[in-house]
Chains A and B, each alone.
Chain A
Amino acid sequence: MTDPAVAAVAAPRPDGTAAATTAPPRRAAAKAAARRGTLAGWLLLVPALAAYVSFVVWPLIQGVQYSFYDWNGIGVARWVGVDNYLTVFTDPDLLGAIRNAFVLIAFFTIIPVGAGLVLATLIRGLRSKAFAASAQTVLFLPQIIPLAAAGIAWSWMYAQTGAVNQILGWLGLGWITRPWLADYGTALPAVGLIGSWVLTGLCTVLLLTGLGKIDVSLYEAVRLDGAGWWREFFTITLPGLRQEIAVLVTVTVIAALSSFDIIYTSTQGGPGRATLVPGLSIFRIGFTQSDVGLASAFGIVLMVLVLVVVLPIQRLSRASDS
């Protein structure tokens, strides 16, 4: 796959060095760089572009095409225009899935970023570097295990005889115990908290690094000014972490809107449709109900939703940087 590009780069180059001896050195070097940059550079881009275009861009174009047809994947496809899109925006089940995805943002984005801010500031203030380092390692662990396994672990945590109810019993809250994932009212928040558990470590670690870049003298100044923890947090810490927060919000919002693994192994979208999310809907409509057109349309809608939510965040972080 990479052979042609490598061969082309490895081949002796007739230009470049000869020209450099005649013109003034700096301009010649820049020119030579530009020259050797273009053709060779494009050849170097070939393998990456080929993989990306063949298996991301092309399927995407195909998906757009499918979305305008009524097709069961086997028979004849029938052109239906924007009907599939109308279905996505009118079918209560699909709208419910979209609504659930947005509810999950609270758990995948707001809680982890908030908790990450608090934990990172705390870790930073610790004297014991050993404890800080091991805390960081443990907090990061949920990022390493497959999301599908997190779904299995938490299904057991939330079960009637599981750890959550057991701990509530110890705390004297026995009266609220229930099978959390089977209860219409609690299933979605319970699944959301699995996401919080997975993402808090990532947020903490990233924000901790961001904190390391903030000038210590700023903290000293604000402390001398007699500021307490809160004022220090809002005047120094938060503005200093703008870039990291923007990155984390982007990553976690995408994770919330396109959650699939956790739901698949914990609730399968149930009870009823209480935890149905777009990813699972697409999977079911496309592969169980064999309505390829509708599933593709929902896929495109999901992609556009992600873009609509994520692009303004990029604007914010850039505008505030300049």
Chain B
Amino acid sequence: MIASRTERVLGYLLLSVAVIVTMLPLVSMFSAALQPADRNPTGLTWPTDPQWGNFATAFETGHVWQLMGSSMLIVLGVVPASLIAATLAGFALGSLQVRFGRGVLVFFILGLTIPFEALIIPLYYQAQSLGTVNTPWAVIFPLIGLYMPFGVFWMRAHFINVPRELSEAARVDGASLWREFRSIQLPLAMPALSALAILLFIWTWNQFLLPVVLIADPLQRTVAGALTFFQGQYSLSIPLLNAGALIIITPAVVLFLIFQRQFIRALVQGAVKG
């Protein structure tokens, strides 16, 4: 691509504006969080006396440790189980010639278009009859099911692109299907799997609707679901609310910054492969 000088200057300019606009809300949260907790803050100012203590207060009164713990519990319930089930199904649909595999795939893919909001009422009554309401299971079980269409689609997209010769070679060597899967297919699937793991982690961590509906105690929800509790708790203090919200978004952002290369690459591949 050849760009003239004007185009380049314009490019830097517009891109800088976009970057600033993207950062603005986060900067404005930070600015509010450092202002005195008992007063109405003003937009973007670097306070003369930054109140770093607001973060400590929000951490303490917001029960952040407990929230992180309950979030982690839900993540641990959702992610490994989803990964195992999606990998096995993706292998079946992508590598093995399962009869009616096409139909099964379409059946899963239709699930990609179902908004969670459309299922939330029956999910609540289902949780009631299972006796899981107000426990982490109320969120864990449905999320495994709700993420399955994407997981299966994603893993199948990986397995379908693995050269056939590999499994044929394994077969000629007399490897059992399990052996072939364990020693050949699984190691090759690791990049796709770890990308899916990161995606599922972030989606679960940020999941809002299900925890809000299915778990009454905000302290047993995911961190995102607890934001409503923060809004109630700090309804009179914008600085503390913003400090709390910043604390809550930090883990996912740090994770993203560490794995951003794999993350973005994975997301892009998954979106266009289909």
**Across the interface, do B89 and A295 meet the contact criterion of CB distance under 8 Å?**
no
A309 closest partner in B (C-beta): B113
Known contacts A55-B142, A56-B119; A141 and B22 CB within 8 A of each other: yes
**Across the interface, do A146 and B223 meet the contact criterion of CB distance under 8 Å?**
yes
Which B21-49 residues have C-beta < 8 A from chain A? 21-29, 31-32, 40-44
A157: chain B residues at CB < 8 Å are 24-25, 28
Complex alpha-carbon distance, A261 and B248, angstroms: 15
Could you list some 15 contacts between A and B, CB below 8 A?
A32-B171, A66-B121, A66-B122, A126-B12, A126-B15, A141-B23, A144-B249, A146-B208, A148-B224, A156-B242, A200-B18, A206-B271, A258-B118, A261-B224, A295-B121
Residue in B31, B84, B104, B238 whose beta carbon sits within 8 Å of that of A2 in the complex: B84
**Across the interface, do A197 and B111 meet the contact criterion of CB distance under 8 Å?**
no
State how many angstroms separate the Cβ of A56 from the closest Cβ of chain B. 5
Further 6 A-B residue pairs, CB within 8 A, beyond A135-B18, A265-B228? A42-B92, A51-B145, A147-B208, A153-B242, A286-B120, A299-B120
Residue in A59, A159, A163 whose beta carbon sits within 8 Å of that of B24 in the complex: A163
**Across the interface, do B119 and A60 meet the contact criterion of CB distance under 8 Å?**
yes
**Across the interface, do A10 and B178 meet the contact criterion of CB distance under 8 Å?**
yes
Mask, A128-167, CB within 8 Å of B = 1, is 0001000111111110111111101110110101111111
**Across the interface, do B89 and A48 meet the contact criterion of CB distance under 8 Å?**
yes
A47: chain B residues at CB < 8 Å are 84-85, 88-89
Residue B190 lies at the interface, judged by CB distance under 8 Å to chain A: no
B268 closest partner in A (C-beta): A209
Complex alpha-carbon distance, A77 and B140, angstroms: 29
A282: chain B residues at CB < 8 Å are 117-118, 120-121
Known contacts A55-B146, A148-B227, A303-B115; A115 and B253 CB within 8 A of each other: no
Residue B193 lies at the interface, judged by CB distance under 8 Å to chain A: no
**Across the interface, do B104 and A210 meet the contact criterion of CB distance under 8 Å?**
no
Residue B125 lies at the interface, judged by CB distance under 8 Å to chain A: yes
Which B47-90 residues have C-beta < 8 A from chain A? 81-82, 84-86, 88-89
Which A190-248 residues have C-beta < 8 A from chain B? 197, 200-202, 205-206, 209-210, 216, 219-220, 223, 229, 243-244, 247-248
Residue A73 lies at the interface, judged by CB distance under 8 Å to chain B: yes
A110: chain B residues at CB < 8 Å are none
B108: chain A residues at CB < 8 Å are 48, 52
Residue B93 lies at the interface, judged by CB distance under 8 Å to chain A: yes
Complex alpha-carbon distance, A49 and B100, angstroms: 14
Residue A302 lies at the interface, judged by CB distance under 8 Å to chain B: yes
Residue B191 lies at the interface, judged by CB distance under 8 Å to chain A: no
State how many angstroms separate the Cβ of A37 from the closest Cβ of chain B. 4
Residue A104 lies at the interface, judged by CB distance under 8 Å to chain B: no
Residue A99 lies at the interface, judged by CB distance under 8 Å to chain B: no
A/B pair count, beta carbons within 8 Å: 342
**Across the interface, do A37 and B146 meet the contact criterion of CB distance under 8 Å?**
no
Residue B160 lies at the interface, judged by CB distance under 8 Å to chain A: no
Known contacts A124-B1, A145-B252, A149-B227; A244 and B271 CB within 8 A of each other: yes
**Across the interface, do B122 and A149 meet the contact criterion of CB distance under 8 Å?**
no
Taking chain A's interface residues, is the majority helix, strand, or loop, or is none over half, making it mixed? helix
B250 closest partner in A (C-beta): A145
Residue in B44, B92, B149, B268 whose beta carbon sits within 8 Å of that of A206 in the complex: B268
Complex alpha-carbon distance, A146 and B202, angstroms: 9
Interface pairs A-B: 9 shortest CB-CB: A55-B145, A258-B115, A41-B98, A48-B89, A166-B43, A146-B224, A37-B96, A125-B3, A59-B122
By size class, the interface of chain B is: 35 or more
**Across the interface, do B85 and A223 meet the contact criterion of CB distance under 8 Å?**
no
A261: chain B residues at CB < 8 Å are 208-209, 224
Q: Which of B10, B117, B260 has the most CB of A within 10 A?
A: B117
Complex alpha-carbon distance, A12 and B93, angstroms: 22
B interface residues (Cβ-Cβ under 8 A, vs A): 1-3, 7-8, 10-12, 14-15, 18-19, 21-29, 31-32, 40-44, 81-82, 84-86, 88-89, 91-93, 96-99, 101, 104, 108, 111, 113-126, 141-142, 144-146, 148-149, 151-152, 167-168, 171-172, 174, 176-178, 181, 202, 205-206, 208-209, 212-213, 223-225, 227-228, 230-231, 238, 241-242, 245, 248-249, 252-253, 256-257, 260, 264, 267-268, 271-272, 274
State how many angstroms separate the Cβ of B94 from the closest Cβ of chain A. 10
**Across the interface, do A292 and B3 meet the contact criterion of CB distance under 8 Å?**
no
Complex alpha-carbon distance, A210 and B144, angstroms: 31
State how many angstroms separate the Cβ of B72 from the closest Cβ of chain A. 15
A264: chain B residues at CB < 8 Å are 208, 212, 228
Residue A16 lies at the interface, judged by CB distance under 8 Å to chain B: yes
Residue A36 lies at the interface, judged by CB distance under 8 Å to chain B: yes
**Across the interface, do A306 and B97 meet the contact criterion of CB distance under 8 Å?**
no
Known contacts A2-B88, A12-B176, A17-B174; A258 and B116 CB within 8 A of each other: yes
**Across the interface, do A131 and B40 meet the contact criterion of CB distance under 8 Å?**
no
Known contacts A135-B18, A146-B227, A153-B29; A279 and B152 CB within 8 A of each other: no
Complex alpha-carbon distance, A40 and B89, angstroms: 11
A29 closest partner in B (C-beta): B168
A82: chain B residues at CB < 8 Å are none
**Across the interface, do B113 and A161 meet the contact criterion of CB distance under 8 Å?**
no
Residue in A123, A144, A156, A202 whose beta carbon sits within 8 Å of that of B29 in the complex: A156
Residue A276 lies at the interface, judged by CB distance under 8 Å to chain B: no
